Amino acid sequence: MVMGSFWTWALFIGFVLMMLILDMVVFHRRAHTVSVKEATWWTAFWVGLALAFNALLYFWQGSDAALKFFTGYIIEESLSVDNLFVFVLIFGTFRVPAELQHRVLFWGIIGAQVMRGIFIGVGTALINSFHWIIYVFGAFLIFTGVKMAFQKESGLHPEDNPVVHFFQRFVPMTRSYEGTKFVTRVNGRLMATPLMLVLVIVETSDVIFAVDSIPAIFAITTDPFLVFTSNVFAILGLRSLYFVLAHVVEKFHYLKAALAIILTFVGVKMVIAGYFEIPVLASLAVIASVLTLAIIASAIRNRRMERANVGRPSGLSS
């Protein structure tokens, strides 16, 4: 395929690197607190860029490739939103200043792209060599979806991450943040800053999420170029989306349930693929419908709770 050629990969990766360099060197050269307005514009930009690439695929490779990319992008974007809950917890737990959060996410996303590229390469090689592995991926997604559906909202504790204990024991680290520096010198001694610790935790968290998201997109297509590009575009927009939704992400009460249904659905799609093929368009319709219903149900719930709080006497607590 033309999509699998060396120059196709080189051009796409080169374009992504160019956009990241412009982002860091030109648009976010100075660390600052990202406002909701700025983040909204950037989110629209990254989504628009993904849609433009989707249109390019349509005219270049046809409707089938474009539909698979778009469906994969929707899956990856929706599953990536789950990362936002973790980012909020990590930044809150380690009291990361607002002006430094974009820097952490920038380098975190670069690392995520590299790791997911490796995961995609390994996954593609496994599927090509052992086709039955697709059923293992499917069963794993079903298990993950069911587990997510019944998992209690006990909350995560980033401070209990093994990486934290490793840093505290083996890595010399300053007690306070040193601006945007990940490492610094104190009395001639090279030391990590808490910002480096936060970055490593963000990276390890993404690896955990990638274990779910990469097999999920293989239910739509096993073309490594489509899998990789849909992942990249979803991750690129995740930084700005975080700053848009960071303060309201907890209001998406039914998002976890929606993601559980989506993971279970794509898992079932993979398991039954040898007996019954669910069309990509039908998969897109199911995923979009589940996400839409989750958003609407969350909005209705939030409105009812607001009305209940307004009607509750001030002397009573919930």
**Secondary structure, 3-state, 194-232:** HHHHHHHHHHHHHHHHHHHHHHHHHCCCCCHHHHHHHHH
Which of the four pLDDT bands, split at 50, 70 and 90, describes residue 233?
very high
Q: Mean pLDDT, to the nearest integer, of 189-197? A: 90
Q: What local confidence, expressed as pLDDT, does residue 318 receive?
A: 41
Q: What local confidence, expressed as pLDDT, does residue 155 receive?
A: 55
CB hemisphere CA count around 280 (13 angstroms): 20
Q: Mean pLDDT, to the nearest integer, of 146-151? A: 82
Contact 3, 222 (CB under 8 A): no
Cα R_g (the chain), whole angstroms: 21
Q: Mean pLDDT, to the nearest integer, of 272-279? A: 86
pLDDT in tens, 257-270: 888 899 899 999 98
Q: Mean pLDDT, to the nearest integer, of 79-95? A: 82
Q: Give, to the nearest 10 degrees, the angle between helix 36-61 and helix 238-245.
A: 140
pLDDT in tens, 121-131: 888 888 888 88
Query: Taking 90 as the threshold, does the pLDDT of residue 293 lie above it?
Result: yes
Percent of the chain past pLDDT 90, that is, above it, reads 22
pLDDT in tens, 16-28: 999 888 887 777 7
How many angstroms from the chain centroid is the CA of residue 115?
Answer: 13
Q: What local confidence, expressed as pLDDT, does residue 250 receive?
A: 72
Q: Mean pLDDT, to the nearest integer, of 66-79? A: 91
Check residues 177 and 274 and name the one with the higher pLDDT.
177
Give the range among 135-139, 203-207, 218-222 with minimum mean pLDDT.
203-207
Q: Mean pLDDT, to the nearest integer, of 73-77? A: 90
Contact 116, 214 (CB under 8 A): yes
Q: What local confidence, expressed as pLDDT, does residue 144 receive?
A: 87
Query: Taking 80 as the threshold, does the pLDDT of residue 278 lie above it?
Result: yes
Query: Taking 80 as the threshold, does the pLDDT of residue 157 lie above it?
Result: no
User: What is the pTM for the complete model shown?
Assistant: 0.85
Which of the four pLDDT bands, split at 50, 70 and 90, describes residue 306?
confident
Check residues 26 and 90 and name the one with the higher pLDDT.
90
Query: Taking 90 as the threshold, does the pLDDT of residue 29 lie above it?
Result: no
Query: Taking 60 as the threshold, does the pLDDT of residue 232 lie above it?
Result: yes
Dihedral sign, Cα of residue 63, residue 69, residue 75, residue 78: negative
Q: What local confidence, expressed as pLDDT, does residue 64 receive?
A: 92
